[in-house]
Amino acid sequence: MKHFGIVESFDETKGLGLIKPEQGDKAIGFERSAFTWENKTPPAVGKRLSYELTERNGQPNAVNLQNV
Q: What is the pLDDT of residue 64?
A: 95
Q: What is the pLDDT of residue 1?
A: 87
| Each residue's pLDDT tens digit, 3-62 | 999 999 999 999 999 999 998 889 999 999 999 888 878 899 999 999 999 998 899 999
| Residue 68 reports pLDDT greater than 90 | no
Q: What is the pLDDT of residue 39?
A: 81
Can you give the CATH number for the domain in which 21 is found?
2.40.50.140
> Which residue range is the domain that position 63 belongs to?
3-67
Contact 50, 4 (CB under 8 A): yes
> Can you tell me the distance from the alpha carbon of 16 to that of 14, in angstroms, rounded to the nearest whole number?
5
| Structural domains of the chain, count | 1
**pTM for the structure as a whole:** 0.88
